[in-house]
Structure 1
Amino acid sequence: MRIALAQVNSGTDPQANLEIVREHTRAAAADGAELVVFPEAMMCRFGVRLDTVAQPLDGPWAGAVAALADETGVAVVAGMFTPAGDGRVRNTLVIAVPGRPVQGYDKIHLFDAFGFAESATVAPGDQPVVFELSGHRIGVATCYDIRFPRLFTELARRGAELIVVPASWGDGTGKLPQWQLLASARALDSTTFVAAVGQALPDDPQAAASSAPTGIGHSRISDPFGSVVADYGPGVTLGVHELDLTTAHRARDALAVLANERPIARLDRTE
């Protein structure tokens, strides 16, 4: 499968961000990509009110992404925000496959860490999502999800050969090596390709000064044996990569961690 990673910056205007999605999807299509993956929060960056921009999956922003997929023949995964119904939003990935209804994945694990409280404004999802493309199964996860191996092994058990991880990774001491290590570790855990696609390091002074996670770049593809296939720098980059997804099946024969895994009972402890 030919997959494109669009490491870009989103701003605060959903329409302007949609134009970035269009520009990079058309460029990826011209280079033969079958799938293009954009970062988390592509509809609107973090650090501003999200309830004022959130739209349902059948709204105009996701509809425009679906129309773009149909126009180019390229599947698109991009981060957006949808209403949660309780005053918060959901951190949603729109999944637009040409000729099919739009799907969505709501981020399960919320970033309540390093002094940030995503759950204050974002409601969690609870359903893993795998979609089909060109005879292959692709799982999705979002940013902080990458710290939770069980989600990745569940996606693999549902047939995923590739897991895409749109992110807007927060900057900070030690955060870059954690991001890089986690991408390769989750590939090994699940014996899948993991394509972790981050927001580029922002060049907007307001975004750069925000305490919200606004991206550090360094997107990465790791193969099912944990080897690094592609590793980006911090800036805006569009890369197209040919992946042999059957490697996942060879990895599962050689490194049978999914087959060998055994349940571990939870033991109640008394002090």
Structure 2
Amino acid sequence: MKIALGQLESGADIRANLAAIDRFAAQAARNGAALVAFPEYATYEKKKMDATFPEVAEPLDGPVCRELAAIARRHRIALVAGVVETSEEPGRAYNTLVAFGPDRGWLASYRKIHLFDAQGFGESTFIKPGPSTDPVVFEHGGVQFGLMTCYDLRFPELARSLADAGAHVLLVCSSWVPGEHKTEQWLALNAARAIENSVYVAGVCQAPPVSVGRSVLVDPMGVVEADLGLEPGVRAVEVSLETVDRVRESFPMFRQRRL
């Protein structure tokens, strides 16, 4: 199966962001991808988080998600993207990943559980952590995909729980905040999660200046199969269940670990 990484340069214009998602989804489908993944905050993003995030938030059956579902249907491709979802708490929203299928509609949603309160960045001021730590995995085309969001990448127990739940590919949808050594950490952590869980990791990031770019697909041996660099773009890359099985047979960590 081919999956595509869609590296966006999202801003505060929701309609423009949806138009970019539509263009990239169309290109991914033309390139033979069965699924395209977009970053965290794909539909609304700013360099600095503020009160407008909960103000623009919508329920998951609102206009933004309806348009994302329509894009998936129109281009006959599964689509994963980050949205701002309304919560029950005034002044705070959920940072949510949604997944739509090309014909079945809704596939999954995941509310980010590890909020980025670091480097002087207080995501939890305006975003509410997801109440459930249960791993979110969905199937498409015979492949199991696990959902993670940005700062989650620093918490290896979440990636392991997704692998335990059957994930072959981890979709790490991100807007990785720039800073000293942050690009190096982004690349190293994507590779680490792939190697230690014998999975593919698709780390899909916002482009500079809001984020670091460098969206990557890492195979279960830690080999970087694609790196999108710093500019917005989309690229389709092959993932193979046979590769996952072969690596897990060579390194049978799931049978050998002692808890």
TM-score range, shorter chain: over 0.9
What is residue 113 of structure 2 aligned with on the other side?
A: 108
1:180 aligns with 2:187: yes
What is residue 119 of structure 1 aligned with on the other side?
A: 124
Name the CA distance, whole Å, in 2 between partners of 1:67 and 1:96.
9
Name the CA distance, whole Å, in 1 between partners of 2:122 and 2:115.
8
Pairs within 5 Å for 1:258-269: 258-263=254-259
Correspondence for 1:232 among 228, 248, 252 = 228
Structure 1 position 261, deviation (Å):
2.1
What is residue 170 of structure 2 aligned with on the other side?
A: 163
Structure 1 position 78, deviation (Å):
0.6
Code of the aligned partner of 1:262:
R
Name the CA distance, whole Å, in 2 between partners of 1:28 and 1:228.
19
Name the CA distance, whole Å, in 2 between partners of 1:248 and 1:140.
18
Deviates more, 1:98-107 or 1:8-17: 98-107
Code of the aligned partner of 2:98:
V
Per the normalisation by structure 1, the TM-score is 0.90
Say if 2:195 and 2:221, in contact at 8 Å, map to a contact too.
yes
RMSD: 1.2
Correspondence for 2:98 among 94, 102, 113 = 94
What is residue 36 of structure 2 aligned with on the other side?
A: 36
Correspondence for 1:80 among 64, 78, 83 = 83
* Structure 1 ranges of 4+ moved more than 4 A: none
Structure 1 position 225, deviation (Å):
1.3
Code of the aligned partner of 2:257:
E
Structure 1 position 244, deviation (Å):
1.4
Say if 2:135 and 2:165, in contact at 8 Å, map to a contact too.
no
What is residue 216 of structure 1 aligned with on the other side?
A: 212
Structure 2 residues without counterparts, runs of 5 or longer = none
Say if 2:144 and 2:166, in contact at 8 Å, map to a contact too.
yes
What is residue 2 of structure 2 aligned with on the other side?
A: 2
Per the normalisation by structure 2, the TM-score is 0.94
SS in 1 for 2:241: coil
Name the CA distance, whole Å, in 1 between partners of 2:160 and 2:242.
17
Q: Deviations over 1:92-140 (max 9, x none)?
A: 0110112224221111111111111111111111232101100111111
Say if 1:193 and 1:245, in contact at 8 Å, map to a contact too.
no
Q: Deviations over 1:156-178 (max 9, x none)?
A: 11111001111101111110100
Name the CA distance, whole Å, in 1 between partners of 2:41 and 2:123.
12
Deviates more, 1:106-115 or 1:231-240: 231-240
Aligned residues between the structures: 252
Name the CA distance, whole Å, in 1 between partners of 2:16 and 2:144.
31
Q: Which has the larger radius of gyration?
A: 1
Structure 1 position 259, deviation (Å):
2.2
Structure 1 residues without counterparts, runs of 5 or longer = 203-213, 264-271
Say if 1:14 and 1:53, in contact at 8 Å, map to a contact too.
no
Structure 1 position 25, deviation (Å):
0.5
The percentage of aligned residue pairs carrying the same residue is 42
What is residue 239 of structure 2 aligned with on the other side?
A: 243
What is residue 198 of structure 1 aligned with on the other side?
A: 205
Name the CA distance, whole Å, in 2 between partners of 1:100 and 1:112.
36
What is residue 269 of structure 1 aligned with on the other side?
A: none
Say if 1:162 and 1:245, in contact at 8 Å, map to a contact too.
no
